[in-house]
Amino acid sequence: MEIDTLKAFLAVAETGSFSHAADRMHLTQPAISKRVAQLEQQLDARLFDRIGRTVRLTEAGNSLVYRANLILQQVEDTERAIRNLNGEVCGQLSLATSHHVGLWRLPSVLSRYIAKYPEVNLDLHFMDSEVAHERIIHGELEMAIITLAPTPHERLIAEPIWRDELVFVCSRAHELATRKNVTINELAEYAAILPDMTTFTGRIVKGMFKDHDLRLEVSMSTNYLETIKMLIGVGLGWSVLPRTMVGDDVVVLDINIEIDLARTLGVIHHVNRTLSNAGEAFIEFLRGDSSYQR
């Protein structure tokens, strides 16, 4: 099987479209169709059902997806291992990062890294931490800089880089803004705007209220902290935000109990994936910016 043919197959499988796959691979649609047809002929099996404009994987196609990804990962891993022998920091570095980390933590690290290693081609993907976590588990990207999962995964190496302190906030016009010694019970009486409860940050807040046997009233959810900050600023509820995001438009609430509310931001990569020299160098830059003792 040719590598480019497998790449074309996976592009169609992931996008659900021959035209979108062609755009992703910078090829024409007939070229993608030809590669898939060659693969189907070679395997003597139909890989996609084409019904109108809908493209769906067949049973054979579903079976091939995992194996095709594994083959490509092994090829890329072999290429990296050989390239690493020359010690040069160059080539492509595929990174995933959350929007918050990418906007608030990475810019200074990236600027220094690019200045020192101009031969590295950064392939940067912005996505939710939970999505990035899964993509690293499946070997689709080299590493991710995200909110670390509360529970370690056996297939991942996770290294903490920053401790992200979280604080309770509301707008200056909110009823809670001028109160002293606000209790968790009082917070529970007001609507909150929080990250979705499927996110790592959402789970942290949900767990805290569960520990106090309180019901959390969430009026609105969004995974973008910048959007939450805007909604809080106009008075739609209270929330929890990283202290680094607190500005003049919101007030940090005076909570009456000691709560060590924080999340850990860090870097993850697959335990069985050989890091490129570019990847190793990037982790060293992250360690230099870390707030954790080593």
pLDDT in tens for each of the 294 residues of the chain?
A: 789 999 999 999 989 999 999 998 999 999 999 999 999 999 999 999 988 778 999 999 999 998 998 888 888 878 777 776 677 888 889 999 999 899 899 999 999 999 999 999 999 999 999 999 999 998 888 999 999 988 889 999 999 999 999 999 999 999 999 899 998 888 889 999 988 877 878 888 888 888 888 888 888 888 888 899 999 988 889 999 999 888 888 899 988 877 778 889 999 999 988 889 999 999 999 999 987 765
CATH architecture of the region 163-263: 3-Layer(aba) Sandwich (3.40)
Report the alpha-carbon distance of residue 257 to residue 129 in Å, rounded: 29
Return the H-helix or E-strand segment holding 239: strand 239-242
Per-domain residue ranges of the chain: 3-81, 87-162+266-288, 163-263
Return the H-helix or E-strand segment holding 146: strand 143-147
Domains 87-162+266-288 and 163-263 in one fold: yes
Residue 69 Cα distances to 47, 149, 276, 289, angstroms: 15, 24, 19, 34
CATH entry 1.10.510.10 includes domain 3-81:
no
Residue 83 is predicted with a pLDDT of: 73
Residue 80 is predicted with a pLDDT of: 74
Q: Bridge-partner residues for 93, per DSSP?
A: 122
In this structure, which topology does domain 87-162+266-288 adopt according to CATH? D-Maltodextrin-Binding Protein; domain 2 (3.40.190)
Residue 162 is predicted with a pLDDT of: 95
Query: What does pTM read for this prediction?
Result: 0.72
Residue 13 is predicted with a pLDDT of: 93
